[in-house]
């Protein structure tokens, strides 16, 4: 059994999403009646698109990270819990057998729940991001020594994630322009249950009157409002802020201008890659519609989970994320009761704010406010779970790099995952039962009113598109 789990772990470590997602695409396309040649090119386009996302983000992060690091170091404020990023968390997630065992359980659960129509989301399309569950499960196992409690915690987290995904899937697919696709990880999809009500609240406050989406900025500002130009200025801005204490050095200006050009490049290249990736689903979507129409189930919705990298470089998402990076850092210094110093996960903010951007239909101001409130919640959750996660990290031999405690702002700060973990950590049947009851009630209510919920979210996002016609056409965003 241990050999099988090690082999399974090695498979997903060796073959990344750009390899196994195309395999899924090819199998699904052929099963839906798409000709092998067309299925092959659909699958290949998906792989090329995913690899393109990885190359773009992988090249951009090393340019941005040193500037963020210098910003943190120049402030000189030390907080006891240091954010060492999702990368450290993923290592810990795969360090315990309970996490490795759940690899097989998660895949089986995701496939079965979709096939029996318990959910409209085929979550197995984004297998890599299952590590969020493994991280929480491994933490719980180390702290309690209870294997079955840890497994149950991960199952409940996964069920909550699927439900949240179903709520935002249509809006995410429509806004980001990927037909029948959605983000579906614990640290991204569950953000939707905060994004929807916050968008409504901000509309009530009249912020919808301020048109701050990329299309409007382009119309009002001319060439300055073009994504490439905005990327250049924004990159220069973040570079100057991050290297403010070194502006007298020539090398600093080289770093600043490189950041500006790199951000402009992401804005320019990302839509091209998005177009390739989105095109891989056209044949499947059409074949699916024909099959469902023939079977009399043409109104059934279905979504394939895709990696959150697919939305990272979209103009409103990247602009909002870059603005939130220094703002989150500054807020962490003055936030009462916060013990967390955000560091490595600051560059990952564009991953998790996508539900805010989609629900506001790209309104950067609303996305920024909603995203900031969410990052504040993340800081408090990391403060609550920091000691527990550090204990687990030490047991795996992770280097704390001089910190007293460590965390991951994006993974361990996720409120839904953290609350479920803390409930199971109590080992109190009443508390755990309450979490399960809330899920069952929510599942029944959401599925009973799914069409109305989707319509409400769409109307909330589109009806306040002041000054222009709100489009519901699905095409890749730039």
Percent of the chain residues past pLDDT 90, beyond the cut: 37
Please state, in angstroms and as integers, the Cα–Cα distance from residue 182 to each residue in 77, 192, 314, 364, 446, following that order: 39, 12, 15, 21, 18
Percent of the chain residues past pLDDT 70, beyond the cut: 84
Res. 11: pLDDT tops 80: no
Res. 401: pLDDT tops 70: no
pLDDT of residue 192: 95
pLDDT of residue 368: 96
- Higher model confidence: residue 89 or residue 290? 89
pLDDT of residue 471: 40
The whole-number average pLDDT for the span 287-294 is 62
pTM of the predicted protein model: 0.81
Q: What would the pLDDT profile of 309-362 be if each residue is shown by its tens digit?
A: 888 888 899 889 989 988 998 899 899 999 998 887 888 899 999 999 999 999
pLDDT of residue 292: 55
The whole-number average pLDDT for the span 28-35 is 79
Tell me the torsion sign for CA atoms 169, 173, 174, 175: positive
Q: What would the pLDDT profile of 225-276 be if each residue is shown by its tens digit?
A: 677 887 788 888 888 887 888 888 888 899 989 988 988 888 788 777 767 8
Contact call for residues 83 and 408 (beta carbons, < 8 A): yes
Q: What would the pLDDT profile of 109-125 be if each residue is shown by its tens digit?
A: 988 998 899 999 988 76
How many CA atoms does the CB half-sphere of 425 hold within 13 Å?
Answer: 17
The whole-number average pLDDT for the span 403-419 is 89
Q: What would the pLDDT profile of 451-475 be if each residue is shown by its tens digit?
A: 999 999 999 998 754 433 344 444 5
3-state helix, strand, coil split of the chain in percent (to 5) is 75, 5, 20
What is the secondary structure of 26-55 as a DSSP string?
HHHHHHTT--HHHHHHHHHHHHHHHHHHHH
């Amino acid at each position: 059994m241990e050999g099988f789990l090690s082999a399974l772990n090695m498979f997903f470590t060796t073959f990344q999403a750009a390899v196994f997602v195309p395999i899924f695409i090819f199998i699904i396309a052929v099963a839906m009646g798409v000709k092998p040649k067309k299925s092959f090119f659909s699958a290949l386009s998906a792989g090329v698109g995913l690899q393109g996302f990885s190359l773009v983000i992988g090249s951009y992060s090393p340019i941005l990270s040193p500037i963020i690091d210098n910003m943190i170091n120049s402030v000189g404020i030390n907080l006891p819990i240091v954010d060492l990023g999702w990368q450290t968390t993923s290592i810990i997630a795969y360090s315990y057998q309970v996490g490795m065992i759940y690899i097989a359980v998660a895949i089986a659960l995701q496939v079965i729940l979709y096939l029996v129509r318990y959910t409209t989301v085929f979550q197995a399309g984004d297998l890599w991001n299952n590590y969020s569950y493994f991280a929480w499960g491994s933490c719980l196992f180390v702290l309690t020594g209870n294997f079955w409690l840890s497994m149950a915690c991960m199952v409940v987290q996964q069920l909550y994630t699927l439900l949240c995904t179903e709520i935002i899937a249509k809006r995410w697919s429509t806004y980001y322009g990927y037909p029948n696709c959605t983000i579906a990880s614990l640290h991204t999809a569950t953000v939707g249950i905060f994004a929807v009500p916050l968008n409504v609240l901000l509309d009530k406050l009249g912020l919808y009157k301020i048109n701050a989406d990329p299309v409007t900025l382009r119309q009002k500002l001319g060439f300055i409002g073009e994504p490439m130009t905005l990327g250049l200025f924004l990159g220069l801005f973040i570079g100057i802020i991050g290297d403010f204490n070194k502006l007298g050095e020539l090398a600093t200006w080289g770093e600043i201008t490189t950041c500006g050009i790199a951000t402009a490049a992401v804005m320019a290249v990302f839509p091209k890659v998005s177009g390739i990736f989105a095109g891989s689903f056209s044949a499947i979507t059409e074949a699916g519609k024909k099959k469902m129409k023939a079977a009399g189930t043409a109104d059934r919705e279905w979504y394939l989970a895709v990696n959150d990298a697919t939305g990272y470089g979209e103009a409103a998402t990247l602009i909002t994320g870059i603005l939130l990076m220094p703002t989150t850092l500054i807020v962490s210094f003055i936030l009462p009761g916060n013990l967390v110093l955000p560091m490595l996960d600051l560059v990952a903010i564009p991953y998790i704010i996508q539900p805010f951007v989609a629900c506001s239909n790209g309104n950067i101001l609303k996305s920024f406010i909603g995203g900031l409130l969410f990052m504040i919640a993340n800081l408090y959750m990391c403060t609550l779970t920091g000691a527990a996660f550090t204990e687990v990290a030490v047991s795996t031999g992770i280097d704390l790099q001089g910190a007293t405690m460590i965390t991951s702002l994006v993974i361990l700060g996720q409120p839904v995952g953290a609350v479920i973990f803390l409930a199971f950590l109590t080992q109190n049947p009443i508390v755990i039962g309450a979490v399960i009851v809330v899920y069952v009630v929510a599942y029944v209510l959401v599925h009973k009113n799914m069409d109305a919920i989707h319509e409400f979210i769409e109307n909330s996002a589109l009806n306040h598109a002041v000054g222009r016609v709100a489009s519901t056409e699905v095409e890749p965003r730039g």
